[in-house]
Chain A
Amino acid sequence: MELLLDVSLYGSTLRMIAPILLAALGGVICARVGIFNVGLEGLMLTGAFAAITGNHLFGDVWLAVLFAVICSGLMSLILAWLTIGLNANMIVVGVALNFLASGLTTYCLSAIFHVKGSYYDPGMAGLPKWDIPLVGDIPGVGGILSGHSPLVYVAFVLAFVLQFFLFKTVKGFRLLAAGEHPEGARSLGIRIDRIRYWAVLASGVLCGLAGAQLSLGQVTQFTEGMTAGRGFIALVAVMLGQNHPLGVMLASLLFGFMDALSIRLQGYALPTQFTMALPYVMTLAAMFLFKDRAYLRQTGRID
């Protein structure tokens, strides 16, 4: 159908997967050190709100992004300290963190902006659209690849950077070792706890960027609970991508495409609910393809 040939569909795909991809990259780093980070959703929401707030406070989009990164980073340190330092159940802490993010952002939405539901400032400048000089002129494809917010490009670049870091550098190698066999790594003098703290912090930073893209990337707006489960979709992307940054990038592309398609299909006869449910159904179907080994070990079913 001509829908699939619509260039702008693919363009919006790239835009929409950036938050999922960024969060999923954070999830990959955590997964590689043995932490199933359920709190990605809350961290992204924190970033989204902090970005809007930062933009409001400083009037500068880039400071806003920085502010988002710092806030999400601090939130992630709570998760890190409880999970690594105090050995709390990582799932309960993740869920609790999501509650905290939800409650705090809604509270601050009311307290700072005096609105309920969502905050929208027509005068606020969002993330700029970058037109890439040569690429943008390529017929057909140029429209897809050019003209996105910087964070979209950052997301894809980071996927490659992370792949490089993990599989080409010494530090990345040791991080992989720490997650693969913690005892063995420890007996070699590798500092596991420190690596894990950095991993969780990295996921916080990445979720901060993800949130900023959400609230500043297309329309500058914060809505209560605007992450809408993207954090969990990111988790599944991590599983589907087999903990590989590039694999996760492909998985995110798939989910993002579904997401963008669902919005497009709203224009057609199909009821909106079907198309909006599509990404989640796809995600569930994707789970059949990848068996989560860490989960199986936890429930004692590896035999």
Chain B
Amino acid sequence: MLLQMEKITKLYGDVAANAGVDFTLEEGEVHALVGENGAGKTTLMRILYGEETPTSGTIRLRGKELVLRSPEDAIRAGIGMVHQHFMLFPSFTVAENIVIGREPRSGILFDRKKAAEEAARLSAEYGMPVDPHRRIADCPVGIQQRVEILKVLYQGADIIILDEPSAVLTPPEVKELLAAIRGLARRGKSFILITHKLQEMMDVSDRITVLRDGRVVATVRAADTNVDELSRLMVGRELVPLEKRPARPGDPVLEVEGLTVRGGRGKAKPLLDGVTFTVRAGEIVGVAGVSGNGQTELVEAIAGLRRIDAGRIRLCGRDVTGADARDLRRHGLAHIPEDRYRWGSAKEESVADNAAMGHTDSAKRSGFLLRGRLRRMAEAWIAGFKIKAESPAVKAGSLSGGNLQKLIAARELAHGSPLVIAAEPTRGVDIGAMEIIHAGLLKRRDEGGAILLVSSELTEILKLSDRILVLYEGRIAGEFRADEATEEAIGRLMAGVTDHAEHAVSAGRAGRSDGADLAASRG
């Protein structure tokens, strides 16, 4: 056994990101680590790469105990990591990126010629063709990832951790990646793949470990299982009983047609690709999916905070494609943002000031702010949503995450807008606050509001939604009515599994989900 991680536990305050996790890796093995957001996969690998220290537990490499205090220790031990967001230097060449930190030199001079030779040698030896002289910024994402892997190999890694490697790749690039992994494994390198995309990884992995809520649910050989079983293990919870009144959807409030948002420079894959759906008055439409599949871009595009490259958006019948936040709010949009500190608040300002945003029209007289009215509004919300704040005068930054989120939810719901976008409304929020925010959303829906709920928390989606869409790789992979949804079906779509492509890799259609057809056939 090459690597043994025994009883790894990592506590953040009271929360256990990892609880007694056992994980092993053999030489030449490809071991996939799967699970939903917050399952603990990233934490476990950050511990292995020395970016975090475990609260308890041991790591053994070739039988000897290993203490890792920093990434340098990990690199020295032969452990390399390719992060989800590459750590490459855009204006440097491929060769420079590969050798950085261990540059070949002659005296004080950087021997770039030797670097290019080294890069070419490695590239040939491991069967991963790259052009050493090309600038990274000019390389497609698939090549960039190859460079990251070569860099790690140059540093002498025997164990290579890949964090969500196929997230940014197009299907042909995924094929090349999987072939490269297989080739390297044959030469004795070992891989740990962090992923939520079961279909793609099934074909290349030897073993699969499923994490849920910080614990190991199962470790199985790929040959002994299938994607259905795995996605069930990944998501695995009881269907939450529906406590809400049946929906009576009215006229369409939000109509999204062919929404497309392209990626940045060098990224061939669009962040959103032809997304089409409708949200009606009096219904909650939940968009499920593992975060990173386009959710953020979807919300920002509809809320007027991001440029739209193609497609149309209609709000209450009016074409609002390309409108800015100000116009959208005036035409009936409210938005509970995903990142409450970045978009949703100004933490140096008072609670009252934060509460007033968007409400100044209803609390003004000839340009003057009726501060008394705003303060009373804030006080009403503090009481109604049970927000723990001494008074509306305290700084918003002093509120806990949950309380701030309650304030934002109260503020946005209080508009009575036809459309409310709720993006990860209860992320990082305690149970009590979660209940209150959920109650607020349901109340708005019962009053006739249309709610677009975007969340990576499947429980939340199942609890609140009247209709469920699954977003995968920037496309709608599937659509369900609440009463016909099963976690198994949703989980499969979230993991990229499609009905007629169980072994999509070998069938030559790597990772491509024909979600549109699926949605159409289910209506």
Which residues of A approach B to under 8 Å, CB–CB?
A: 168-174, 176-177, 180-181, 183-184, 187-190, 303
When A177-B92, A180-B89, A180-B90 are in contact, do A189 and B109 touch as well, CB less than 8 Å?
Answer: no
Complex Cα spacing A132 to B306, Å = 60
Question: Is B110 located at the chain interface by the 8 A CB criterion?
Answer: yes
Question: Is B65 located at the chain interface by the 8 A CB criterion?
Answer: no
Query: Which residue of A has the minimal Cβ distance to B112?
Result: A168
Question: Is B357 located at the chain interface by the 8 A CB criterion?
Answer: no
Task: For A181, give its contact among B70, B87, B101, B105 (CB under 8 Å).
Answer: B87
Contact yes or no, B91 A180, CB < 8 A: yes
Task: For B100, give its contact among A168, A169, A172, A173 (CB under 8 Å).
Answer: A173
- Interface centre among A170, A172, A189, by most B CB within 10 Å? A170
Contact yes or no, B71 A184, CB < 8 A: no
When A168-B109, A169-B108, A188-B101 are in contact, do A181 and B72 touch as well, CB less than 8 Å?
Answer: no
When A170-B110, A173-B96, A177-B100 are in contact, do A189 and B72 touch as well, CB less than 8 Å?
Answer: yes
When A181-B88, A187-B71 are in contact, do A303 and B108 touch as well, CB less than 8 Å?
Answer: no
Task: For B110, give its contact among A169, A183, A190, A303 (CB under 8 Å).
Answer: A169
A183 to chain B, nearest CB (A): 7
* Inter-chain contacts of B71 with A (CB < 8 A): 187-189
Question: Is B307 located at the chain interface by the 8 A CB criterion?
Answer: yes
**Residues of B within 8 Å of A, CB-based: how many?**
19
Contact yes or no, B108 A170, CB < 8 A: yes
**0/1 string, B64-80, CB within 8 A of A gives 1:** 00000011100000000
* Inter-chain contacts of B88 with A (CB < 8 A): 181, 184
Contact yes or no, A173 B103, CB < 8 A: yes
When A170-B110, A173-B110, A303-B306 are in contact, do A189 and B101 touch as well, CB less than 8 Å?
Answer: yes
Contact yes or no, A177 B109, CB < 8 A: no
**0/1 string, B285-310, CB within 8 A of A gives 1:** 00000000000000000000011000
Complex Cα spacing A177 to B110, Å = 14
12 A-B pairs in the complex with CB atoms less than 8 angstroms apart: A168-B110, A169-B110, A173-B103, A180-B91, A181-B89, A187-B87, A188-B71, A188-B87, A188-B100, A189-B71, A189-B72, A303-B306
Complex Cα spacing A188 to B87, Å = 9
Complex Cα spacing A41 to B398, Å = 39
Contact yes or no, A184 B110, CB < 8 A: no
**0/1 string, B81-113, CB within 8 A of A gives 1:** 000000111111000100011010100111000
When A169-B108, A170-B109 are in contact, do A303 and B307 touch as well, CB less than 8 Å?
Answer: yes
Query: Which residue of B has the minimal Cβ distance to A173?
Result: B110
Complex Cα spacing A189 to B103, Å = 13
Query: Which residue of B has the minimal Cβ distance to A183?
Result: B87
* Inter-chain contacts of B91 with A (CB < 8 A): 180
When A187-B71, A189-B71 are in contact, do A170 and B103 touch as well, CB less than 8 Å?
Answer: yes
Complex Cα spacing A177 to B89, Å = 7
Query: Which residue of B has the minimal Cβ distance to A172?
Result: B110
* Inter-chain contacts of B101 with A (CB < 8 A): 188-190
B281-338: which have CB < 8 Å to A? 306-307
* Inter-chain contacts of A188 with B (CB < 8 A): 71, 87, 100-101
- Interface centre among B70, B72, B89, B109, by most A CB within 10 Å? B89
**0/1 string, B488-506, CB within 8 A of A gives 1:** 0000000000000000000
- Interface centre among A181, A183, A303, by most B CB within 10 Å? A181
* Inter-chain contacts of B96 with A (CB < 8 A): 173
Complex Cα spacing A172 to B103, Å = 12
Complex Cα spacing A168 to B307, Å = 40
When A170-B110, A303-B306 are in contact, do A184 and B87 touch as well, CB less than 8 Å?
Answer: yes
A269 to chain B, nearest CB (A): 49
* Inter-chain contacts of B72 with A (CB < 8 A): 189
Lowest 4 CB-CB distances: which A-B pairs, in order?
A184-B87, A188-B101, A189-B72, A170-B110
Complex Cα spacing A190 to B87, Å = 13
Complex Cα spacing A168 to B111, Å = 8
B337 to chain A, nearest CB (A): 15
B323 to chain A, nearest CB (A): 16
Complex Cα spacing A190 to B18, Å = 30
Query: Which residue of B has the minimal Cβ distance to A300?
Result: B342
B155 to chain A, nearest CB (A): 9
Complex Cα spacing A170 to B88, Å = 17
* Inter-chain contacts of A180 with B (CB < 8 A): 89-92
* Inter-chain contacts of A169 with B (CB < 8 A): 108-110
Complex Cα spacing A175 to B101, Å = 12
Complex Cα spacing A177 to B151, Å = 15
Q: A180-B89, A188-B101, A189-B72 are in contact. List 6 more A-B contacts (CB 8 A).
A: A170-B108, A173-B100, A174-B100, A181-B89, A184-B88, A303-B306
* Inter-chain contacts of A184 with B (CB < 8 A): 87-89
* Inter-chain contacts of A174 with B (CB < 8 A): 100
B55 to chain A, nearest CB (A): 23
- Interface centre among A168, A171, A173, A190, by most B CB within 10 Å? A173
A297 to chain B, nearest CB (A): 13
Contact yes or no, B100 A171, CB < 8 A: no
Complex Cα spacing A282 to B87, Å = 39
Complex Cα spacing A187 to B307, Å = 33
Contact yes or no, B105 A170, CB < 8 A: yes
Contact yes or no, A171 B108, CB < 8 A: yes
A300 to chain B, nearest CB (A): 10
A136 to chain B, nearest CB (A): 34
